[in-house]
A = this chain, B = another copy of it.
Amino acid sequence: MTCMGLHVRRASRIMTQRYDAAFRSVGLAPTQFTLLVAIHLLEPAAITQLAQELFTDQTTITRNIKLLEQRGLVAINPGDDRRIKLASLTVEGQAVLEQALPLWEQVQTEVKQHFGEEKWQTLLSLLAEVKTLS
């Protein structure tokens, strides 16, 4: 059964477990790592902006960011427009991100070696192209 939906979900689960194992020592889930990076890049980042960048529902960002806030990794401040919530990394958030980055590089390298440079690039670009479906 060559169902694209199944294939991509399955690959996502397997890959996620791989990254999850890598980040375990810093207590970050892969999604949380991604969110920290995104906040770092867009700082100060509005919820909606993060949702657009990550192709995730706004309500998902609201909930995921709350966990990071509760853990003290992210600070939330109101924007000039007080409907907007702006997220930025706390000092501790920056520290955790810096701890996580080499772990991320490690997995990336391992997975890249597993596939080989060419397949790695092909897979990345095809996955990126999935965005054009939405």
A interface residues, Cβ below 8 angstroms from B: 1-19, 30-31, 34, 37, 41, 54-56, 104, 107-108, 111-112, 114-115, 119-120, 122-124, 126-134
A37 to B119, CA, bound (A): 30
User: Could you show 24 A-B contacts with beta carbons less than 8 Å apart?
Assistant: A1-B37, A3-B34, A3-B108, A4-B15, A4-B112, A4-B123, A4-B124, A5-B19, A5-B30, A7-B124, A8-B127, A9-B30, A9-B34, A10-B55, A11-B12, A11-B130, A11-B131, A13-B55, A14-B131, A14-B134, A114-B132, A115-B129, A119-B129, A126-B126
Given A4-B112, A7-B127, A9-B15; 8 other pairs, CB 8 A cutoff:
A3-B108, A6-B30, A10-B130, A11-B12, A11-B127, A11-B130, A14-B55, A122-B122
Chain B residues, CB < 8 A from A15: 4-5, 8-9, 130, 133
Chain B residues, CB < 8 A from A129: 115, 119
A120 & B9 in contact (Cβ 8 Å cutoff)? no
A120 & B14 in contact (Cβ 8 Å cutoff)? no
Chain B residues, CB < 8 A from A124: 2, 4, 7
B14 & A12 in contact (Cβ 8 Å cutoff)? no
Given contacts A3-B34, A10-B131, A133-B18, contact A123 B120 (CB under 8 A): no
